[in-house]
């Protein structure tokens, strides 16, 4: 464990001792119901997590955002929520509504829009400083509940199925250069690019190339995406999950068809969060397949990147 990781674990423990709400929610997390669907080479889990009801159903349209107080700004954070600085621009906070047994929110100091452009290097630096965590980014229309305040999140390693799926799922290599490779996962229900590299500059270079190729929707500032990064034995692994929809059709459906599921990095990483028990009971392997298909990009986008990467 890095020395910074040690510091973060001590900070986490202290926060649970002094902050009742966080302690209660982490205790409740130990009892949450989960179920697992098997799809050949990999699994997808479902977690019934009632504490996530607020963020899972959060209104993130510009008007609702303007009318609420930003929960990542110091003036509105709970008095018990302390912070640990990371570098010049970021703070480490304990997420009081956890999905992971150790779940951090990492906002920028200032209230600036959620944008990955120009900050991906920061994400790699956070992953390197916290090698026992996965670090993730939800785009402003891809699962972020505070699209107006830049933040990453981190959760302890060993929780997201995606981490180990990379070893077992069939891959197609798109690009190899020295110590860097770019590949996609085959038959994985969702289209994901993976960059593995020992050189930070190369990861950034490949990431920025893909970022520039992905479709940009009218009025948006960046291509819709989720990103999961981790660092292990001198290697950065970056999973880019490009998106075509913010929320799946079941989120908007009426009656029996309605499921309150608003996917972000964690869901696409293999743990679907259902804040309501009836949705947890109702969800099937086929529903998960449909949700992934609806929110992730189609094969033609992957093909387009592949073609352009060849040149
Ligand atoms: Zn803010």
* 152-179 pLDDT, tens digit each: 999 999 999 999 999 999 999 998 988 8
User: Rounded to the nearest whole angstrom, what is the distance from the C-alpha of residue 242 to the centroid of ligand 1?
Assistant: 25
Beta carbons of 107 and 85 less than 8 angstroms apart: no
Beta carbons of 213 and 300 less than 8 angstroms apart: no
Beta carbons of 200 and 231 less than 8 angstroms apart: no
Which pLDDT does position 137 carry in this prediction? Answer: 98
CA distances, 42 to each of 199, 205, 254 (Å) = 29, 30, 31
User: Rounded to the nearest whole angstrom, what is the distance from the C-alpha of residue 113 to the centroid of ligand 1?
Assistant: 9
User: Rounded to the nearest whole angstrom, what is the distance from the C-alpha of residue 144 to the centroid of ligand 1?
Assistant: 13
User: Rounded to the nearest whole angstrom, what is the distance from the C-alpha of residue 149 to the centroid of ligand 1?
Assistant: 5
Which pLDDT does position 68 carry in this prediction? Answer: 83
Which pLDDT does position 55 carry in this prediction? Answer: 66
User: Rounded to the nearest whole angstrom, what is the distance from the C-alpha of residue 148 to the centroid of ligand 1?
Assistant: 7
Place of tokens 């479902």: 46
Domains present along the chain, CATH in parentheses: 3-157+169-309 (3.30.428.70)
CA distances, 81 to each of 10, 16, 92, 133 (Å) = 14, 10, 10, 20
User: Rounded to the nearest whole angstrom, what is the distance from the C-alpha of residue 55 to the centroid of ligand 1?
Assistant: 15
User: Rounded to the nearest whole angstrom, what is the distance from the C-alpha of residue 67 to the centroid of ligand 1?
Assistant: 12
User: Rounded to the nearest whole angstrom, what is the distance from the C-alpha of residue 269 to the centroid of ligand 1?
Assistant: 26
Check the CA dihedral 161-167-168-173 and report its sign. Answer: positive
User: Rounded to the nearest whole angstrom, what is the distance from the C-alpha of residue 118 to the centroid of ligand 1?
Assistant: 19
Listed in sequence order, the residues at least 6 apart from 242 whose beta carbon sits closer than 8 Å to its beta carbon are 191, 193, 214, 223, 224, 225, 296, 297, 301
CB atoms within 10 A of CB 242: 26
User: Rounded to the nearest whole angstrom, what is the distance from the C-alpha of residue 183 to the centroid of ligand 1?
Assistant: 36
Which pLDDT does position 132 carry in this prediction? Answer: 97
Which pLDDT does position 309 carry in this prediction? Answer: 84
User: Rounded to the nearest whole angstrom, what is the distance from the C-alpha of residue 293 to the centroid of ligand 1?
Assistant: 32
Q: Compute mean pLDDT per 10 residues along the chain, 311 residues long, and list them.
A: 92 98 95 95 94 72 82 93 97 97 98 96 98 97 91 98 96 91 96 97 96 94 97 97 96 93 97 95 96 97 90 62
On average, the pLDDT of the chain sits at 94
User: Rounded to the nearest whole angstrom, what is the distance from the C-alpha of residue 51 to the centroid of ligand 1?
Assistant: 21
User: Rounded to the nearest whole angstrom, what is the distance from the C-alpha of residue 239 to the centroid of ligand 1?
Assistant: 27
CA 52 from centroid of its chain's CA atoms? 15
User: Rounded to the nearest whole angstrom, what is the distance from the C-alpha of residue 82 to the centroid of ligand 1?
Assistant: 16
User: Rounded to the nearest whole angstrom, what is the distance from the C-alpha of residue 212 to the centroid of ligand 1?
Assistant: 27
Which pLDDT does position 311 carry in this prediction? Answer: 62
Beta carbons of 214 and 301 less than 8 angstroms apart: yes
Which pLDDT does position 56 carry in this prediction? Answer: 62
User: Rounded to the nearest whole angstrom, what is the distance from the C-alpha of residue 196 to the centroid of ligand 1?
Assistant: 33
User: Rounded to the nearest whole angstrom, what is the distance from the C-alpha of residue 266 to the centroid of ligand 1?
Assistant: 22
Which pLDDT does position 61 carry in this prediction? Answer: 79
pLDDT in tens, 16-45: 999 999 999 999 999 999 999 999 889 999
C-alpha span between 93 and 8 (Å, rounded): 9
């Amino acid at each position: 464990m890095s020395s910074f990781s040690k510091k973060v674990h001590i900070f986490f423990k202290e926060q649970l001792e002094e902050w009742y709400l966080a302690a209660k929610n982490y205790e409740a997390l130990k009892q949450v119901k989960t179920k697992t669907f098997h799809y050949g080479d990999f699994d997808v889990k479902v977690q019934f997590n009632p504490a996530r009801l607020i963020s899972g159903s959060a209104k993130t349209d510009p008007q609702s955002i303007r009318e609420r107080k930003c929960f990542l700004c110091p003036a509105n954070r709970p008095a018990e929520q302390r912070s640990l600085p990371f570098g010049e621009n970021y703070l480490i906070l304990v997420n009081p509504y956890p999905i992971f047994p150790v779940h951090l929110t990492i906002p920028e100091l200032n209230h600036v829009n959620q944008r990955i452009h120009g900050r991906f290097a920061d994400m790699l630096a956070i992953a390197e400083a916290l090698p026992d965590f996965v670090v993730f980014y939800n785009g402003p229309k891809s699962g972020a509940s505070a699209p107006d305040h830049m933040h990453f999140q981190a959760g302890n390693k060993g929780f997201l199925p995606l981490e180990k799926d990379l070893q077992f799922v069939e891959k197609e290599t798109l690009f190899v250069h020295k110590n860097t490779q770019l590949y996609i996962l085959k038959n994985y229900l969702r289209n994901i690019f993976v960059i593995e590299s020992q050189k930070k500059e190369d990861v950034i270079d490949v990431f920025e190339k893909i970022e520039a190729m992905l479709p940009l929707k009218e009025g948006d500032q960046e291509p819709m995406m989720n990103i999961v990064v981790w660092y292990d034995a001198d290697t950065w692994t970056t999973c880019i999950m490009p998106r075509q929809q913010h929320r799946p059709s079941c989120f908007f459906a009426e009656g029996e068809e309605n499921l309150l599921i608003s996917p972000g990095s964690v869901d696409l990483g293999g743990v679907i969060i259902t804040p309501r028990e009836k949705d947890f009971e109702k969800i099937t392997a086929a529903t998960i397949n449909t949700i992934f298909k609806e929110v992730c990009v189609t094969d033609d986008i992957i093909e387009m990147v592949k073609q352009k990467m060849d040149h």
